[in-house]
Each structure stands twice: as structure tokens, then as C-alpha cells.
Amino acid sequence: MLNLILDFGNTRYKLALFEQDDLIYQSSGIELNTSDLLKLKLDYPTLKSTIFSSVIELKPDLKSFLLTDFQAIELSHLTPIPIQNQYQTPATLGKDRLAAAVAAAMLYPKSNVLIIDAGSSITYDLITEKGNYIGGGISLGIQMRFKALHHFTGKLPLISQTYEQIELVGKNTEESIRSGVLNGLLHEVDGIIHAYKSIHNDILVLITGGDLKYFDKNLKNNIFAAENLVLQGLNFILKYNDNKKA
């Protein structure tokens, strides 16, 4: 049986097809239309179940199609999940953070896991060896830091992203901004990892998100790249709910 997984972010969506736990198809884009889903159903006739997570308001026709033409789950804080969510304000918890925590617990059972999602913001999330999601932290992402320096100062230019290693000493304004933002963020993330390791010295560190390749190459700590962690978590949640119905 195939599962359709949809993750709608602020600027892009991600779409994936899972056969059990195997990712067999993946795409992403700016806008998803009902016609795209109709074509997908024609290409994969056994496709019936879907879960969708969104931080934006979906187009009414798209949402209606998902809810009527699929056995659909719209992820919320009320959706049953296979871990214990101990966040004090579950309704405000980002759905991507929750899905990533589920994936970490399922992929690495009986392990303490720190999840770092390096996207528009940098999030840190802790799942314990007992399968309890505790919480974490939220910080500014790379591009957000560049934009803040440009927006809140009179003369600093807006710098574009790069994944190259940056020298510590910038020789001009652009290099200095890159050094301050990128080297500063690397030390921040390494410091946060060390702080979590002081609590759980056996902790496993996973990194995901759009900027993972920069951190994967440059962090000093031993980390594991998990590019599709959120999609995997959504698939685990869908399977968990399907099994509850069986």
C-alpha cells in the first residue's frame, strides 16, 4: 500500500510517496494544484491514504480534494502519535518539529536524540530513550540572520547564502558579515550540542532541513544527516493511525 505524504512550508511544499517505510518518489515546488494530485492518482492507482501538514492556509479546492478523494489525516496537536508529547503548549508546537521527533523515536528506539532542523529557523528538539518528546529551542536561521543585519542597519548589504567554508577573519564587509553569521552560527550549534551532551552523554544528534549540508560539513560534533526526517515522521504517524483503525 502506498502513502502520500505532504508537507506544506512557508515557501515550498514537499511531496513523497512511501511504500511501507521505503521512500519511492519525492518532489517539491512552490505551488501544488489539484491537477497534480489527479495525475499522481492516475500514475499510482493503489494510492489511497494521505497525511498533510501545513503551516499555511491551503487553497480550499486542494484541501477539499485531499479530504474527499483520499483517506486523509490533517496533522494537528490532536492527531494520535506513537510518542508521548510532553510539550506544555502542544497546540503551538510546529508540526514539522513534531513529525521529526516521531521519526527520530521510530528510527532510533531507546535512544536519546537531539534533532536539529536547519531551515528558515534553527530548531532543537529532544526525544528521550523512553519515547518522550520534551521540547527544545528555536533560533534564527542563516538567511534570517543575513536579512536582519540588512534590515536593521543603515548600510550593511543583503548577503546571499553560500555553503562554502568561511574564513574567520573577513577582509571586507561582505566577508565580515559571512564570517559573523556563519561562523557564529556554527559555534552556536556546536555549543548547544555540547550543552545537551552534558545532560545526556549518550545522545545521538540528527540534523535535517534545507541548510543541513552546510552544518553537515562544518560542525565539529559527530552528527548524522537525516534529509527526509520530517517526511518519514509524517509517514510513521499515518501508518500508526491506519493500524489503529485495522
Q: Cα separation of 58 and 208, whole Å?
A: 24
Q: Cα separation of 44 and 24, whole Å?
A: 11
Q: Cα separation of 101 and 174, whole Å?
A: 37
**Residue with grid cell 555540547, as numbered in its chain:** 194
Find residue 140's DSSP bridge partners.
Answer: 121
Q: Cα separation of 113 and 104, whole Å?
A: 7
Answer whether 103's CB lies under 8 Å from 229's CB: yes
Question: Does 43 qualify as catalytic in the annotation?
Answer: no
- Three-state DSSP class for residue 119: coil
Phi-psi bin for 104: left (phi > 0), alpha (psi -120 to 50), beta? alpha
Query: 174: part of which helix (H) or strand (E)?
Result: helix 173-178
Exactly one of 7, 43, 96, 242 is catalytic; name it: 96
Q: Cα separation of 50 and 168, whole Å?
A: 47
Cell numbers representing residue 29 in the block: 515546488
Cell numbers representing residue 133 in the block: 518528546
Query: 234: part of which helix (H) or strand (E)?
Result: helix 229-245
- Catalytic residue positions? 96
